[in-house]
Amino acid sequence: MGFIVEGDESGDVVLEPPPNFSMVEEGIFRSSFPRPCNFAFLKTLNLRSIIYLCPEPYPEENLEFLRSHNIRLFQFGIEGKTEPSLASLKDAIRGALKILIDVRNHPVLIHCKRGKHRTGCLVGCLRKLQNWCLSSVFEEYQHFAGMKSRSADLRFIETFDIVCLTQCLHSIIYQYQGYGSKKRRLLYGEECTETPNNFDMNEESAHNINGRNSHFSLMV
């Protein structure tokens, strides 16, 4: 694991990223479960949101960090020790993707327990939405999963139908953002997402997720 040391008037500050930390795309990060020793590093990311893929309650010390930095928590409880039903897994990944591709939630951190399987499935399905070839999607998944790679995860990613998400995106318009940019924005005018369980959602936050004319972006 890498450490970043910054000097300031009070002395050196050691910034420790969570294990399996990596940038997925600009404004999207992934990692294992952050511990208090990782909070100083997370602060440098200026996060707006965290997508948490475990069913267990979020620890109070982590919630306090989120509250103190105005970070929203979106929880999608996917079982890790036992294989979840295919229907519940699809629903969770679909819901998490809708939060993930909304640029108003960026910068966003995705994490589960180890940052391998559940996080890998979500990132893998995002890559399919970005039209990555399947071999590259699998290679990225296996890079983070290592020897713990699960064939069931790979089958899920392979068979995940992105149409189930894109069907919600009516009246899609692709707009390039700036010269030479690889970002595209998807606009849709139909309310089709449900509010996930999340921490301290205010009226404006709920409108961001459920409101009409929401703006989504994909990095392709």
Of 37, 54, 112, 192, catalytic: 112
Tokens of 69: 């930095």
DSSP state, residue 117: H
- CA-CA distance, 145 to 186, in Å (whole number)? 31
Judge whether 209 and 203 are in contact, CB under 8 Å.
no
Task: Starting at the earlier edge strand, list the strands of the sheet with 183-187.
Answer: 174-176, 183-187, 215-219
Q: CA quadruple 129, 189, 107, 74: dihedral positive or negative?
A: negative
Residues 6+ apart with CB under 8 A from 151: none
Indicate the pairing of strand 108-111 with strand 49-52.
parallel
Q: What is the H or E stretch that residue 153 is in?
A: helix 151-159
Q: Which of 163, 164, 169, 46 is nearest to 102 (CA)?
A: 169
Is residue 192 flagged as an active site residue?
A: no
Residues annotated catalytic, as ranges: 112
